[in-house]
Structure 1
């Protein structure tokens, strides 16, 4: 029943998607067929046919041979056909040319986006909001005052916790500030490891402190680190249907969560828009590079790469339009920020690049 509900959601959303979308335009040199390979995503497959791969649901909808595009597997041959003047992809079964059977791993269907890239960011909180930061419980230490802990160690956490539940140990990272107003939007959390209430008979819990076993760690845990529940998220691709955003919604990339300085395709970023701006899972943004402002005088032209900094030399006479470098899709939403995946990029990008809602 759960699978049926997800499928119904996907198909219903795809139909509503078509209600406001323009006619699909194929790439000039698009293929007529495409053989799915391991590592493909629906977005990438659509990019072989469309300059607007976020419109991928319309390549599959109303197609009896591909009722659910998430049930496409490596080895499937996709053929471009036309239905009522609209291009669509249909799945063609491979013919058996030899006694060698075709091997399919039916457990690994083609997802919307590379789920392996974002799985860690779905199952662990990476941003804590201001009100939660104040009351967040801390790692206290152990009976002999040890300040650092590794996998297999026992330590005490502040307060009481639920036995048998998995918790995460986190360290505070960067502050996220709104670039133009300086508003505090949240704090990055660096994941340290997994822990649970200790099962050892040698330690006991009180109202003030609970013993923990450090089950697995990416780095050493320290006194003062936060101990927080790890949320449970379903990673079914049905939750990543592209959603349009008004072009009036503008914001910024605040930074990358996967420790890169030059941001590109498939990198995970934080943006300064969240649920308070009605951002939702699947929301799409264009990534923009600000055009320079130009100050024209009688004998020379002055410009700076960022028009907003031209106050130093005077108001610009001309602002060259911003250049679109790619797109990003939101997959996790907080109140004031969201986590997104860069779906396409034509150049390396960095923090404070502007984003703009993508309408379609």
Structure 2
């Protein structure tokens, strides 16, 4: 059972109950509170570590026997890395539980940059003492002069729009940003090649901007606290003439640009290919609060937003277990207590069923208070309100 004292339980319980209470039995239509549930959910311990706190691999060191048991086949042939592979897919080729990649990877001292993997590398099972490990075979020295692109932890083509375009901004930042006043043609929408006018007038220090729309408010899944807004990328704006209003030309639009859309700085790709998947060395207990560009659910290779970020110690590369919240059900078979009036209770006690794991996500971009992650494995559809937490040995998929 997870435990963090002092956090309000009612919002968490409300999320657990929303749409999940059985439609039959005496719980239907009841407004339950935490006092009504015999085993209320308590969030995972959130002993916050300061930024820069030491991080590590899996929580529990594997014994030699447990390490051997993690491999699908200890006699498996070497695997030659291909373009499009990721660290997770390579680990999944050899291991039953790819979470253990950081634990089982062997840093071959004979190879420069042993943690870097490139297309053409040969991944093989080696034994270090009595423990099987994964390692890169020796590379021809000539390859050091011209190496192909490094294998990344996640498919960059899938997450690049969220790295270079989408941002998380506060309401004040949106209000302070220049806005599209109108377009030259007077049409409702504008797109690539159109001319638009911006106010307040720009100062000329930048010539290229991202055009964004204020998206859905991001709200803490337990406390309801406001965490910012998603800035939805629509296209680029290049300055043509500084005046009042400033004239810009729209380029590379992916959505129609409207009056009131804001201009913000273009961001560089915020993901380091050297990032290695890792299990956080301390508890992260987050809620999925947004499914960008999805209506109700997502699956593998799709993006989610969680309500924890750098202030909680989250960093790119963190592997998080996605869990479905347990339903609240009525125990119709339990002995019913008598009320103050001496009458037997009309319903059995409300019992919260355990949360259960349904997938894995890897953080690829962390802001101060929220993070973007890619679902890299899902056995069921993932919804807003599902949990994203530090994996624990007892509840692995």
TM category, shorter? 0.7 to 0.9
Question: Paired residue for 1:354?
Answer: 387
Q: Which SS does the other structure have where 2:275 is aligned?
A: helix
* 1:219-275 deviation per Cα after TM superposition (whole angstroms, max 9, x unaligned): 32111111111111354321354250533x322111222436431122111011122
Contact 1:273 1:279 in 2 (8 A): yes
Aligned counterparts of 2:302 and 2:372: Cα–Cα separation in 1: 11
Shift of 1:350: 1.2
Question: Paired residue for 1:176?
Answer: 218
Question: Paired residue for 1:167?
Answer: 209
Question: Paired residue for 1:292?
Answer: 327
Shift of 1:144: 6.7
Question: Paired residue for 2:19?
Answer: none
Count of equivalent residues: 320
Question: Paired residue for 1:153?
Answer: 194
Question: Paired residue for 1:52?
Answer: 97
Question: Paired residue for 1:100?
Answer: none
Aligned counterparts of 2:85 and 2:282: Cα–Cα separation in 1: 29
Aligned counterparts of 2:228 and 2:56: Cα–Cα separation in 1: 33
Aligned counterparts of 1:165 and 1:150: Cα–Cα separation in 2: 18
Shift of 1:137: 1.8
Aligned counterparts of 1:262 and 1:66: Cα–Cα separation in 2: 43
Contact 2:314 2:366 in 1 (8 A): yes
Q: Which SS does the other structure have where 1:281 is aligned?
A: coil
Contact 2:166 2:232 in 1 (8 A): no
Which of 241, 253, 257 is equivalent to 1:221? 257
Question: Paired residue for 1:118?
Answer: 159
Shift of 1:37: 2.7
* 1:99-136 deviation per Cα after TM superposition (whole angstroms, max 9, x unaligned): xxxxxx94333222211111111111333223312222
Gaps of 5+ in 2: 1-51, 141-145, 337-346
Instruction: Tell whether 2:221 aligns with 1:185.
Output: no
Contact 1:205 1:211 in 2 (8 A): yes
Q: Which SS does the other structure have where 2:274 is aligned?
A: helix
Contact 2:289 2:385 in 1 (8 A): yes
Contact 1:70 1:109 in 2 (8 A): no
Question: Paired residue for 1:262?
Answer: 297
Change (3 A) 1:298 1:76: closer
Q: Which SS does the other structure have where 1:87 is aligned?
A: strand
Which of 118, 128, 133 is equivalent to 2:169? 128
Change (3 A) 1:62 1:278: closer
Which of 309, 322, 325 is equivalent to 2:358? 325
Which of 286, 292, 295 is equivalent to 1:251? 286
Shift of 1:328: 1.3
Contact 1:163 1:197 in 2 (8 A): no
Q: Which SS does the other structure have where 1:217 is aligned?
A: coil
Q: Which SS does the other structure have where 1:139 is aligned?
A: strand
Aligned counterparts of 2:114 and 2:300: Cα–Cα separation in 1: 23
Question: Paired residue for 2:118?
Answer: 73
Question: Paired residue for 2:242?
Answer: 205
Change (3 A) 1:150 1:62: closer
Gaps of 5+ in 1: 1-12, 96-104, 199-203, 302-312
Aligned counterparts of 1:16 and 1:281: Cα–Cα separation in 2: 12
Which of 13, 23, 27 is equivalent to 2:71? 27
For the aligned residue pairs, the C-alpha RMSD in angstroms reads 3.3
Aligned counterparts of 1:61 and 1:348: Cα–Cα separation in 2: 34
TM (normalized to structure 2)?
0.70
The structure showing larger relative contact order (alpha-carbon pairs under 8 Å, at least 6 residues apart) is 2
TM (normalized to structure 1)?
0.77
* 1:131-169 deviation per Cα after TM superposition (whole angstroms, max 9, x unaligned): 312222211114675543221122121231545543111
Please, which moves more after superposition, 175-184 or 131-140? 175-184
Please, which moves more after superposition, 237-246 or 329-338? 237-246
Contact 2:180 2:260 in 1 (8 A): yes
